[in-house]
Structure 1
Amino acid sequence: ELGGAQQNTLWTVRHLDRRSFEPYLITNDQGLLVQQAKAIEGLGLYLLPELVREIDPRRDLAALRKITSILKELKGRGGPMIVHTHSSKAGILGRWAGWLAGAEGIIHSIHGFGFNDYQPWPVRRFFIALEKATARITHRFIAVSEANIKKGVRLGLFPPEKAVLIRSGIEVARFASIKVDPRRKRRELGLREDLPLVTMIACLKPQKAPLDFIRVAQGVLKEVEASFVLVGDGLLRPKVLEAARRAGIDGSFHLLGWRWDVEEILAATDVFVLTSLWEGLPRVIPQAMAAGVPVVATAVDGTPEAVRHGVNGFLVRPRAPEEAARYVTSLLKDPEKARKMGQEGRKTAWEFDVGDMVKRQESLYADLLERHHLSASDTKSSGRHAWPKPT
C-alpha cells in the first residue's frame, strides 16, 4: 500500500547523509514501492517474501531468522549498527533481530499502535504484552504524535524520556505550490467539472473505516450536489463498491485506486475527509492542509494535533458519519468559509516538512551512538576514536 510509514521510510533512506550513514532496507518483496526502493542510489536492499503483514507463525519465524542473519552479516563488516523499524509486526521482528545481532542502537517509529480499542480484549492484551516485552530491548521510540507518546507512557510501554516526537513529514512546498486547473482535473478524473469535490485518501482497511465515507457522501448528497472520490485500495474494495451501490450514490462516488497525482487531486478538492478509527497522525491531513483544503476528520489519536476544530477544519467522533456529513455540507454551502479554513491550514502545514524529519532522525541516530561511546561521523578533531560509518 502507499502508506505514510512506507513512503517516509523510503524518503529517509534516500536522503540520509551518505557521508555519515550507510543505509540498508529490509522489506517484503511485493508492493507498489518496491521499484522505487530498487532505484535508490547507495541503498542496500533485501527483499524477503517471508516478511508478510498477516500473522503467520511459520513465516514469521523464518523472517526473524533471515533478518537476524542479514543483520549479523552487516554487523560483521565493522562499525556500529542502528536498527530502525517501522510498522507493528515488522517492528517486533526487526527489533528482536537487531538485539540478536548485537545492534548498538534499536529504534522503533510508532505510526499508531498495532493494538486498538476495536480488537477483542484478549487479542489487544496479547499485543500490548508483546509490545511491552519488545520495548525492553528498544533504546528509543519515535512517535508521529503526542497522543501516541502519552498512550505509550500510560500503558507502561516506555518512560517519557525514551520517546521523541518527530512528525511524519511531507513535501510541503510540492503540495502548496502545485498549479492545477480544478475543472480540467475533474474532467480528467471522469467527474463533472461544475460540481464541488470531496476527497478521501486512504487504504481500504478497517482502520480507515471507508464505509463511513460512503455514509458521509450519502448524507451530504441529501443537501448538496457534489462528487466524492476515494483514492486508495485494499481488502475492503468490494464492500466499498457494494455500499456505494446500495446507498444509491454510485453515480456520484468514484473509487480511483492508488494514484501518484494526489497533490493534483487535492488541488482540485473542496473538502478533505478522513474517517479513521485510530491513527498515528496521518500524512494525508497535512498534505490537504498544505494544499489549502479544509479537513473534516475523526478526532482520534494525533489528528487533533493537526486539525483545529473550527479553525482549519472540523473534528468529529469516530463512527459518526452523520456528524461529518453536516460539517462537509456546511463547508460546501459556504465556499468562503471553506477557503478561509484552507488558508489557516496552509499556515501550519510547515510543521510537517519532510526535510526536518530526516535531520531530526539523523540527530537521534548520532545521539544514540554517542551514548554508546561511538560517533556517527569522523571525530578525530575532538580527540575521540573515529569509527566507520554506522549501518
Structure 2
Amino acid sequence: MGRGGGGAQGGSAVKLRVLHVITMLELGGAQRNTLDTVRQLDRQRFTLGLACGLGGELYPEGASLPDTEFFPIPHLRREVRPLSDWRAFGELRSAIRAFSPHIVHTHSSKAGVLGRLSAWCEGVPIIIHSVHGFGFGPHQWLPVRAAFMAAEKLVATMTTAFIAVSRENLETGVQLGLFPRERVTVIRSGIDLRAFSQAADGQAVREELAIPPEAPVVLQVSCFKPQKAPERFVELSARLAPVLPEARFLLVGDGELRERLERLRQKWGLEQRLHFLGWRRDVPRLLRAANVVTLTSRFEGLPRVLVEARCAGVAVVAMAVDGVVEVVVDGVNGFLVPPGDVATMAEKVALLLANPELARALGEAGKQGLEEFSVERMVADQEALYLKLWGQRVGS
C-alpha cells in the first residue's frame, strides 16, 4: 500500500476508511465498545472494516454488521503461540492490503501488538490503539510481564495516538513508560443508557431461577478469567451465606476458571445458593432482579457493568482499582473497598441488604451524571479524533 496514505487523497472531506482490529469477540467491555463504535460511526464520513479472530459469543454479530467489511483472522488468538502469531501477522497484513485503510484502530493486547505492527509494515497513515486496561499486571510471572511491556513499548513507537477508557489507565500507562501523555485522549466506554434505564422484568428472572420474590440477590457480571478474580465472588458468597440464609448469588459469565469456581462452590456447599448463569444477553433484566451488584477485579479499564448498574439504579460494591474509582464515588452512588479485601466487601454488601433504603438511595444517586458514559458520546468523540488526526496528517 505504501506509506503515503493507502489511496487517501485530499483533505478532511475524504471519506476515511477505518479498520478496527480486536483479538476475539467474546462478551466483554472492549468487544462491546468495538462493535458499538463500528456500528454507529457515521457512514457518510467513514467506510468501516472489522478484523478479529474466530469464535466468541459476539462473533456472529461482528461478522454480520451492516455496511462493514469483515475480515476473519483464523490464527489470531489470545494465547501467546509463536507460530500462530506469525500466521496471524501475515493474515492481518493481507486484510490491511485488501481494505487499504487510512486508519487502523486496534483493541486488546494481542491485536494491539500484531495489528499495529501489521499496519506499520503496510504503511497505514494513522494507527490508533485503545487501552481497555492492560494485558499484564503484578499477578503475572515477572518475565512474562516484562515481555508484554517490551512489546507494548515497541509498538508504541509505531502508534499515532492512544485512547484510554479511563484517566487511571492513562496515568498508569504514562508512569510505566508505555506511551507519552501528549498522544493520549481519554474517551470513556459508552453504553446504551436507554436500554439500562428502562424498566425490565426482574421478577421473571427470579421465577426462571426459582428465587423467591423477597430473597436478596447479589449479582456479578464478569468473565471467568484471572483479571476479574471471580473466585473472590465465590468467597464473598461463602462469607454471606451463613448470615443471610435467604440470599442468592448470581455470577454471569464463563471462561478458563470455570472448573476451579465449580470446585470452590462445592467445597463451600453453595450449590443451591450460588448460580453460574453462563453468558447472558439479558443483563438489563438481571440487573432488575438484583439488590446489589459487585465487581472483584484485580485491574480494570472502565468497567461497563458498573455503569450499567448505576443506570439501572442498583447499588454497587466494587474493589477500588483503576477505572472503577471513576464510576463509583464511595458513599455516594455505591461503596468502594480495598483491592482484594473480600471481608470488607462482605460487610458492605450485608449493610446494603440490611438497609434497603440506603441501597435505594445509592441506586438513585447512581442514575445521575451518566451522560459522559453514553455510547453516543463515545462514538462522537472517536469520530472527532479520527477527523482531527487526518486533518493533521494532510495539513488541513
User: TM-score scaled to structure 2, two decimals?
Assistant: 0.91
SS in 1 for 2:368: helix
Kept after mapping to 1: 8 A contact 2:252/2:280 = yes
Deviations 1:114-134 (A, max 9, x none): 111111222212211111111
Distance 2:52 2:33 in 1: 14
The amino acid across from 2:28 in the alignment is G
Stretches of structure 2 that go unaligned for 5 or more consecutive residues are 1-25
Is residue 80 of structure 2 the alignment partner of residue 55 of structure 1?
Answer: yes
Is residue 198 of structure 2 the alignment partner of residue 177 of structure 1?
Answer: yes
Structure 2 counterpart of 1:72: 97
Structure 1 counterpart of 2:293: 272
Aligned counterpart in structure 1 of residue 71 of structure 2, from 7, 32, 46: 46
Distance 2:209 2:284 in 1: 14
Distance 1:68 1:4 in 2: 26
Structure 1 counterpart of 2:386: 365
Is residue 345 of structure 2 the alignment partner of residue 336 of structure 1?
Answer: no
SS in 2 for 1:69: helix
Distance 2:193 2:113 in 1: 31
SS in 2 for 1:229: strand
SS in 2 for 1:302: helix
Structure 1 counterpart of 2:8: none
Is residue 34 of structure 2 the alignment partner of residue 12 of structure 1?
Answer: no
Aligned counterpart in structure 2 of residue 160 of structure 1, from 157, 181, 189: 181
Is residue 319 of structure 2 the alignment partner of residue 298 of structure 1?
Answer: yes
SS in 1 for 2:370: helix
The amino acid across from 2:74 in the alignment is P
Shift of residue 316, structure 1, vs aligned partner: 1.3
Structure 2 counterpart of 1:307: 328
The amino acid across from 1:10 in the alignment is L
Distance 2:78 2:204 in 1: 39
Is residue 115 of structure 2 the alignment partner of residue 94 of structure 1?
Answer: yes
Aligned counterpart in structure 1 of residue 217 of structure 2, from 197, 200, 203: 197
Kept after mapping to 2: 8 A contact 1:48/1:63 = yes
Kept after mapping to 2: 8 A contact 1:86/1:108 = yes
The amino acid across from 2:92 in the alignment is I
Paired-residue identity, %: 45
Higher relative contact order (CA 8 A, sep 6+): 1
Distance 2:342 2:167 in 1: 26
Kept after mapping to 2: 8 A contact 1:30/1:49 = no
Shift of residue 147, structure 1, vs aligned partner: 0.4
The amino acid across from 2:220 in the alignment is M
Is residue 169 of structure 2 the alignment partner of residue 144 of structure 1?
Answer: no
Is residue 249 of structure 2 the alignment partner of residue 216 of structure 1?
Answer: no
The amino acid across from 1:177 in the alignment is Q
Deviations 1:319-361 (A, max 9, x none): 2211110000000000000000001111133321011100110
Distance 1:179 1:191 in 2: 17
Structure 2 counterpart of 1:321: 342
Is residue 305 of structure 2 the alignment partner of residue 284 of structure 1?
Answer: yes
SS in 2 for 1:348: coil
The amino acid across from 2:304 in the alignment is R
Shift of residue 183, structure 1, vs aligned partner: 3.0
The amino acid across from 2:63 in the alignment is K
Kept after mapping to 2: 8 A contact 1:23/1:43 = yes
Structure 1 counterpart of 2:51: 26
What is the aligned length? 370
Kept after mapping to 1: 8 A contact 2:156/2:178 = yes
The amino acid across from 1:287 in the alignment is E
Kept after mapping to 2: 8 A contact 1:183/1:194 = no
Deviations 1:175-221 (A, max 9, x none): 011332x3332112332222011000000011111111011111122
The amino acid across from 2:221 in the alignment is I
Aligned counterpart in structure 1 of residue 368 of structure 2, from 344, 347, 351: 347
Distance 1:322 1:122 in 2: 32
Distance 1:141 1:52 in 2: 22
SS in 2 for 1:54: coil
Distance 1:147 1:97 in 2: 28
Kept after mapping to 2: 8 A contact 1:293/1:339 = yes
User: TM-score scaled to structure 1, two decimals?
Assistant: 0.92
Kept after mapping to 2: 8 A contact 1:292/1:339 = yes
Stretches of structure 1 that go unaligned for 5 or more consecutive residues are 375-383, 385-391
Distance 1:350 1:229 in 2: 28
Distance 1:349 1:297 in 2: 18
Distance 1:60 1:30 in 2: 16
Structure 2 counterpart of 1:207: 227
SS in 2 for 1:315: strand
The amino acid across from 1:150 in the alignment is E
Aligned counterpart in structure 1 of residue 151 of structure 2, from 124, 130, 143: 130
The amino acid across from 1:319 in the alignment is G
Structure 2 counterpart of 1:107: 128
